[in-house]
Amino acid sequence: MTSNEDRAPFVTRPSATQTLPLFSAKHAREDFPALAQQINGQPLTYLDSGATALKPQRVIDAVAAIYARDCANVHRGVHTLSQRATAAFEGARDNVQRFLGAGSRQEIILLRGTTEAVNLVASSYGSTLGPGDEVLITGLEHHSNIVPWQLVCERTGAKLVVVPITDSGEVLLEDFRARLTERTKVTAFAHVSNALGTVLPVEEMTRAAHDAGAVVLIDGAQSAPHIAVDVSEIGCDFYAFSGHKLYGPTGIGVLYGRRALLEAMPPYQGGGDMIDRVTFEQTTYNDLPYKFEAGTPNITGAVGLGAAIEYLEELGPTGIEAHERAVLEYATDALADIQGVHVIGEAPSKVAVISFVMDAAHANDIGEILDQHGVAIRTGHHCAQPVMDRFGVPATARLSLGLYNTRDDIDALLRGLHAVKKFFA
């Protein structure tokens, strides 16, 4: 594997004329040192990438190189280390712009994660709302795309409207359109449900929202690692995702925002780097994107995210998507064959996630017994309690896939589930 110092700091997305190697999960697994360990005497089977993805050595090396060689603050120093750190940090922004298909690097705001990105839009753009205005979300949302809008509605007198989900875990386009009115000012919805894996028709929903005069924010935390995203094609006004689910470090995330909207929005936080000039009488603000990046940023996190994007581009997103789809189908069919296992959310368009319950055991018991067999899954409400309420369950067991998962991982899961059934028989 190429070391951090031997490679060029940034690469471009392969062109359509370039031939990419066929994706091999078996070979990719060798890039993830965490997979080499044993848990409770068993090889680690990691099926919790929806919570956070494992990190390839490329990302680990990129983060370590900043601390070891270029440990300096960005944007503020004329010395060599600061200049190199700034170049790496801003290069990561360029990688994100390319990854999302954004028209300008000024539209890429580097933050702590999806949650902060949604809060930024809710606090800043949400200040334009007033009594009688409506914010439209769906019943599939993560808490981080519910609570910020509730806070805005409490503060401004606006109303939160929710599009229901079907028994299969879908948001129907006709139900979404039916709740759009002239009072709808903001629509905010996930690209992919973190609890169920449902893929929402975001392009059609965006067009419908714009036709109604509303702006669109998309939570891309669960889609960016699994689906090729082009914000220009989607046409959304805001798009957010987190680095740690995209094989990058924790504590780093992205908000894409349409430039005209970002320029009109007031700052989210005050402090260093977001200012132009400060006096006791008045402060003027920096240009985009720095207007929304107060204080010292997560420099190593951004550089690690940039390295993760390079890594994914080199592997080939199309091959990764096809591989993950095949593993998901294999897992779905296998779980359907186990008596007493019930999948929650069976939308025809899904990626990477299966939530299920068992007649024999609570979700937390499933997770604990699987861990004894080296299998890591997520159990609980997945920060989506309204989804659990919709299906009448307190919690689910959730497997979520990464590019490194194979059918062997699903077979290990199945052996663990049979052990659960045997324990509670």
* Residue 57 exposed, middle or buried by CB count within 10 Å (0-12, 13-18, 19+): middle
174 CB contacts (<8 Å, ≥6 apart)? Answer: none
Q: Are 218 and 189 in contact (CB under 8 A)?
A: yes
Annotated active-site residue in 71, 153, 236, 383: 383
Q: Which of 256, 255, 156, 198 is nearest to 384 (CA)?
A: 198
**CA 73 to CA 357: how far, in whole Å?**
48
Q: What letter does residue 57 receive in the DSSP assignment?
A: H
Q: β-pairing, 42-43 with 108-111? A: unpaired
Count of C-beta atoms within a 10 Å radius of residue 249:
23
Mark out the alpha helices in 292-358 (DSSP H runs): 299-315, 317-336
Q: Residue 236 catalytic?
A: no
Q: Which residue type does 367 have?
A: G
Amino acid in the structure at residue 314: E
Known catalytic residues are 383
